[in-house]
Amino acid sequence: MYFFKTISEQIKPAQTDFSKKSKTNLLVLAALFASIAEILQSAGGFLPGIGYFISPFATAPILLCSMLSVPLGGITYFLTILLLLILVPSELIVFPFATGLLGLGIGGGFHFFKKRIAIISSGAIFLAAGILTLLYGIKFPVLGPAVSSSFSFLASSGILLFSFIYAWIWVDLGLFLFNRLKKFIIGS
């Protein structure tokens, strides 16, 4: 069945090759991916309209780094946050709690789980936790006026369902991007 297929085995050889790289190569790759993530995330502010369709792709660099190495994904995540703080502070609310967390959750899922359903669920839990923290913890209207900042079980269930579907899309997109960019990232 589709959801119970083992998919992390495709990534294991690349993770092993990647772990043999020098620390300098790893840091340069983390900086490159952080720069790409920052550019994609800030597209919403620089290109009104179409930029909002580009900014969700800031998940991809964090996801690709996390698929290969969770610590390197964490470095890329925090470096992207610092770049956003310096260059585009208005995007600093969405990235750490939604876009970046999703990449870390799915990338970490590829390390700790084998089945597609578990990897999707880990990403969905990270994304839902980030959105719910923004909405109910910080009281930031991340979903606009459609959802109140006072707790609602129906809204929380809808966020969890959306997070699962969105993480599912990103797991398949992440595998596609990984297979296309594997030679560039690993360098073999």
Its domain, for residue 87, covers 10-186
CATH number of the structural domain spanning residue 101: 1.10.1760
Is residue 5 one of the residues assigned to a domain? no
Is residue 152 one of the residues assigned to a domain? yes
Provide the token pair at 77: 């995540």
C-alpha atoms less than 13 angstroms from C-alpha of 104 in its C-beta half-sphere: 23
For residues 103 and 63, the answer to whether their CB atoms sit within 8 Å is yes
Residues 6+ apart with CB under 8 A from 123: 102, 105, 106, 109, 163, 167, 170, 171
Residues 6+ apart with CB under 8 A from 188: 17
Residue 66 is predicted with a pLDDT of: 94
**Ranges in the chain, pLDDT < 50:** none
Token pair 């991007």 in the structure block, residue: 177
Cα torsion angle, 51, 57, 59, 60, sign: negative
Is residue 55 one of the residues assigned to a domain? yes
Is residue 119 one of the residues assigned to a domain? yes
Residue 3 is predicted with a pLDDT of: 80
3-state SS string over the chain? CHHHCECHHHCHHHHHHHHCCCHHHHHHHHHHHHHHHHHHHCHHHHCCCCHHHHHHHHHHHHHHHHHHCHHHHHHHHHHHHHHHHHHCHHHCCHHHHHHHHHHHHHHHHHHHCCEHHHHHHHHHHHHHHHHHHHHHHCCCCCCHHHCCCCCCHHHHHHHHHHHHHHHHHHHHHHHHHHHHHHHHHHCC
Single-letter amino acid code for the residue at 44: G
Residue 38 is predicted with a pLDDT of: 95
Residue 144 is predicted with a pLDDT of: 76
Residues 6+ apart with CB under 8 A from 116: 2, 3, 4, 5, 6, 7, 171
Integer Cα distance of 57 and 47 in angstroms: 14
Q: What are the pLDDT digits (tens) for 34-71?
A: 999 999 999 888 888 888 899 999 999 999 999 999 99
Is residue 102 one of the residues assigned to a domain? yes
Q: How many domains does the chain have?
A: 1
Is residue 2 one of the residues assigned to a domain? no
